[in-house]
Amino acid sequence: MIFTIKDLLSIIPELIIAGSACVLLLVDLLISKERKACMAVLSILSVIAAGVASYWLLGADFMGAKSFAGMFELDGFSTFFKFVFYTATVLSILLSFHYVKEEDINLGEYYVLMLFSLSGMMVLASGADLLSIYVGLELMSLPIYVLAGFLQNDVRSNEGAMKYVILGAFSSGILLYGISMVYGLTGTTELSGVAAALSDSSVHVPALSIAIVMMVAGFAFKVAGVPFHMWAPDAYEGAPTPITGFMSAGPKAAAFAVMLRVFMEGLQPAYEQWMVMVGVVAVASMAYGNFVAISQKNIKRMLAYSSIGHAGYALLGVMAGTEEGIASVMFYMAVYVFMNLGAFGIIIMMRKGGQRGELIEEYTGLARSHRGVALLMLIFLFSLAGIPPTAGFMGKFYIFMALIHRGMVGLAIFAVLMSAVAAYFYIRIVMLMYMREPAGEFEFARSKGIYYALFITTVGTVLLGICPGYLVKLAEMASVIM
């Protein structure tokens, strides 16, 4: 069990993030409350350093190898997802600068917890063993629980965090039980070993179905798929808005990364069984998320239900079970980071009487006085609805293509119909912004961080919609995990 220098080199990005989180925790003690913004800058710098390390590792000769006795896998798949996480984290930190000052939660721990969560996501994307995956899952979730309740004086924030932590503990217990049953049936927790053991059909006993049900339930909780979505609307509404964006982009992508890895690599021989369960969750998520979003009055809550719907679409890509399906989920997650964090960026900008502007009505007539902001919101909402030429359309397009190539035409048609339902509540906001007279004055949070974040997300949303080829090619190259 002695590990080598090569093992250590392959986790350099994780070491950078976890190490700088530890150092920043101590640096935070020396920084006065007025100057916490430099904590944010240092956090962004450490994420960039990890990004450089990840890029450097792409050319290393041990790329694609497993390290730490098969616990950790450094491959194109995990690197692709790591860059998605880096982007989501940097954008969320940029969006936080101003917000934390306004809401009086300007504490250094805010950024440190984000970095710890990021390191958990990275372990999760690289986990090649059910145990390292579980450790990564907890490392990712625990800081998020704290961050969701960071608005200490807000009852909704406390309530959301409480629901999140209780249901989260419950679901990780279920997942762990599923893992233990898989271990009992196959005698190993290593994903490649699990796949090898399952290729023998004598292992396909009823207990395997129970184990798969539990693992699907555990992961479906993390991606907020129906019927394991109950925490999402409350946690999303209560959490500080940049954290809501972070939660819906980073941990969700990480959960999809691990889901693809576990189901496509480890449980591939049992495809017929998990395909049905994932399909049921996907269909239920699309239907429930999109229909319930229609009746929401709070825009954060609406985006929470919309993110349940989006999880449904991405689950369809998992369900396809082909390399094309994997690539389509990867592309979708990358796209989702840009368009969703963009929409949250606009929500963070909108303020009313010194308060957070979170009601959908408050967007009425925005385009009359503030054309630029309204146009950006229009781009993000069209992208979320999946209207060309935005990135959201391309994301959905690749998933539906993967489904059709697999012969699941009925599901693809259902997903398109649900997109039509989703278009209603996204375009309703556009209608309010462009076709109604403004009811009152608009206030904006003006901050360079938000401008930078909005610039990056807009460029990402538009560029990936017009020429998605390069990223799709990267995703296809990285999707070889079976």
Which residues in this chain contact another protein in the complex, by CB under 8 A? 2, 22, 25-26, 29
Reference 382, options 436, 425, 344; nearest CA is 425
Q: Smaller CB distance to another protein: residue 2 or 155?
A: 2
CB of 426 to another protein, least distance (A): 43
In contact, 81 and 333? CB cutoff 8 Å: yes
Q: Which two tokens stand for residue 85?
A: 């996480």
Give the nearest distance from C-beta 109 to another protein in angstroms. Answer: 9
In terms of phi and psi (left: phi > 0; alpha: psi -120 to 50; beta: otherwise), the region of 412 is alpha
What does each C-alpha distance from 386 to 247, 381, 389, 399, 416 come to in angstroms? 21, 8, 9, 12, 10
Quote the distance between the C-alpha of residue 70 and its chain's center. 26
Nearest distance, CB of residue 18 and another protein, angstroms: 9
Strand 443-444 and strand 355-356: the pairing is unpaired
Q: Which two tokens stand for residue 465?
A: 């919609």
Between 51 and 108, CB nearer to another protein: 108
Nearer to another protein, 25 or 203 (CB): 25
From the CB of 17, what's the least distance to another protein, in Å?
Answer: 14
Coarse DSSP helix, strand, coil percentages of the chain, rounded to the nearest 5 percent: 80, 5, 20
CA distance 77 to 404: 23
Q: Using the minimum distance from each CB to another protein, give the nearer residue, 11 or 264.
A: 11
Rounded to a whole number of angstroms, the minimum distance from the CB of residue 48 to another protein is 22
Identify the three-state secondary structure at position 446: coil
Would you call 119 helix, strand, or coil by DSSP? helix
Angstrom distance (rounded) from CA 127 to CA 191 = 9
> φ, ψ for residue 48 (rounded to 5)?
-65, -40
**Interacting residues of 372 by C-beta distance below 8 A, sequence separation 6+:** none
Which is closer to another protein, CB of 29 or CB of 155?
Answer: 29
Closest separation between CB of residue 26 and another protein, Å?
Answer: 6
> Which tokens belong to 386?
């999946």
CB of 1 to another protein, least distance (A): 9
Indicate the residue among 9 and 359 with the shorter CB distance to another protein: 9
Quote the least distance from Cβ 114 to another protein, whole Å: 16
Nearest CB to another protein, comparing residues 107 and 213: 107
Q: For another protein, give the closer residue by CB, 30 or 155.
A: 30
**Cβ pair 160, 235 in contact under 8 A:** yes
